[in-house]
Amino acid sequence: MTEQTDAADGTERRVRVVLVDDHRMFRAGVQAEIGRTEETGVEVVGEAADVDQAVTVITATRPEVVLLDVHLPGGGGVEVLRRCAGLVAAAEHPVRFLALSVSDAAEDVIGVIRGGARGYVTKTITGADLVDSIFRVQEGDAVFSPRLAGFVLDAFASTDAPPVDEDLDRLTQREREVLRLIARGYAYKEIAKQLFISVKTVESHVSAVLRKLQLSNRHELTRWATARRLV
């Protein structure tokens, strides 16, 4: 939606991206959509079609953002994340992962997010939105699609049992509100306006949710996943 708003202020934005997807046609499509570097600021520096290739290319090129397909030959996106864990956690120039999948099944989404991806978008996303998401991820934000927000809410919703670690395992009221608005299709800016907070605060709430999702609440997620026979 707001693809060029930041570019307008004169600071030339550039982001180096690696594209991981086993469909050549899809890679070509994404490349055509976002790869016009002068317009979008996105530079596709590498492509990979399976897990091994992905790890090699990512290690070699050290991109800022990896667009990662969830279903890949050789173990899937989760496996790529696992083998690139060092790069994700790197203090300087960490590699951020944005999952891009045709599947919006809960187990896929939650799986890669817990694996360390910074966001999740489906392949029906428009080119402009995708570019926007890439930049947000590069800046360290989490990108939540409405659907992802729905899954997270769902995962945290059925926590009637006493939580193991109150601080870690529960979403705060505010975080829940933010997620709910995301799930309802609001953009970060609109959420900020609605809740009378700044966009930065919205972003930090979302990041907190992401952290909680990755680090804590194994219990709830496991329970949630088992209840749905996902694991």
Footprint of another protein on 74-103 (CB under 8 A): 103
Using the rule CB under 8 A, is 202 a contact of another protein? no
Longest dimension (CA), the chain: 53
Residue 23 found at the interface with another protein (CB under 8 A): no
Would you count residue 127 as binding another protein (CB under 8 A)? no
Distance between CA 103 and CA 151 in Å, rounded? Answer: 13
Structural tokens at position 87: 């790069």
- Alpha helices by DSSP H, the chain: 24-34, 37-40, 51-61, 76-83, 85-89, 106-115, 127-138, 146-157, 166-169, 173-183, 188-195, 199-215, 218-227
- Bridge partners, residue 43, by sequence: 16
Interaction of residue 150 with another protein, rule CB under 8 A: yes
**Contact pick of 164, 215, 228, 231 for another protein (by CB under 8 A):** 228
Q: Give the contact letters, 157-176, x = binds to another protein (CB under 8 A), - = no.
A: xx------------------
Residue 201 in contact with another protein, rule: CB under 8 A: no
> Residues interacting with another protein, by CB under 8 A?
103-105, 124, 146-147, 149-150, 153-154, 157-158, 180, 183-186, 228-230
